[in-house]
Amino acid sequence: MLEHLVRKWGRKEKQSEPAELDRSGKIPEHVAIIMDGNGRWANKRSLPRVAGHRAGMKAVKEVVKAADEIGVRYMTMYAFSTENWKRPRDEVDFLMKLPQEFLSTELDELIERGVRIRMLGSKNELPSHTLKALLEAEEKTKNNSGLQLNFALNYGGRDELAKAFSVMAAQVKAGELQPEQLTEELISSYLYTSEIPDPDLLIRTSGEIRLSNFMLWQLAYTELWFTDVLWPDFTREHFYQAIVEYQGRARRYGAV
């Protein structure tokens, strides 16, 4: 009944992009996205909240394709936070089924595109079917050299830092690590993102202007772009708008 809400991944003509988008210019290496507004999208249409989450899958597909086509190397999508467990049980159960559903229908296309899948977050609390789908996708795409698509699932920025500091503290106590060795670079190496660069650009949809416990360490010098568009309505044109604005910004990292 909700199938009409989801646009299939299938190949189609490349959509137009803003004249200002410079493909040969400054393309962000790593784009992070807080996909917000699924519930409000559904409420506006008198649909159950889960309909908004299902509809949001089309935006994931569209934006991943757009990012891949312009040369983005890493994309991290905030799929489920450590705080989202507080939501109603039926909604949580549905969200835990989405990775399996998405990957079962789209993984072959992702492999064809050379996309590599990775999960960022704590695996311990995830249902077995969710974890199995993600681990299988990671294994099948581990040798791909194209866009790396990271799903931040059961992820919280503070939780990530607390776990990293706990490991480091234990190593200091055991004499395996000296306090003076605790540099920014070392701390970064204990995070889920240890093997990838920090995001250059963060996009958040739905009009909210906050980080919501997402990549708190990694976003220190990230360019932020917010839009009122709800995630299921987010298109590649909106994505291009964010890239164009990023291309017009000067990143000084504290310098003049």
Catalytic residues: 36, 84
User: Is 238 known to sit in a ligand binding site?
Assistant: no
State the maximum Cα–Cα separation within the chain, in Å, rounded to a whole number.
60
């519930």: which residue's tokens?
39
Instruction: Name residue, tokens 């917010």.
Output: 226
Helix (H) or strand (E) holding 162: helix 157-173
**DSSP for 166-213, written as a single string:** HHHHHHHHTTSS-GGG--HHHHHHTSTTTTSPPPSEEEE-TT--S-TT
Residue 52, marked binder: no
Q: According to the annotation, is 225 in a ligand binding site? A: no
87 annotated ligand binder: yes
Asked if residues 132 and 107 have their Cβ atoms less than 8 Å apart, the reply is no
Residue 85 annotated as binding?
Answer: yes
Dihedral sign for Cα atoms in the order 14, 18, 23, 24: positive
Q: Is 53 annotated as a binding residue?
A: yes
Q: Contact at 8 Å (CB) between 246 and 223?
A: yes
**Residue 54 in marked binding region:** no
Q: Is 154 annotated as a binding residue?
A: no
89 is annotated as contributing to ligand binding: no
Would you say 81 is a known binding-site residue?
yes
| Residue 175 counted as an annotated binding residue | no
Q: Give backbone dihedrals phi and psi of 88, rounded to 5 degrees, phi first.
A: -55, 145
Known binding residue 4? Answer is no
Candidates 144, 140, 147; CA nearest to 103 is 140
**What is the spatial distance between Cα 113 and Cα 126, in angstroms, rounded to a whole number?**
28
**Residues in binding site:** 36-41, 49, 53, 81-83, 85, 87, 204, 210-212, 223
Binding residues for Mg(2+): 36, 223
Question: Which residues line the annotated binding site for substrate?
Answer: 37-41, 49, 53, 81-83, 85, 87, 204, 210-212
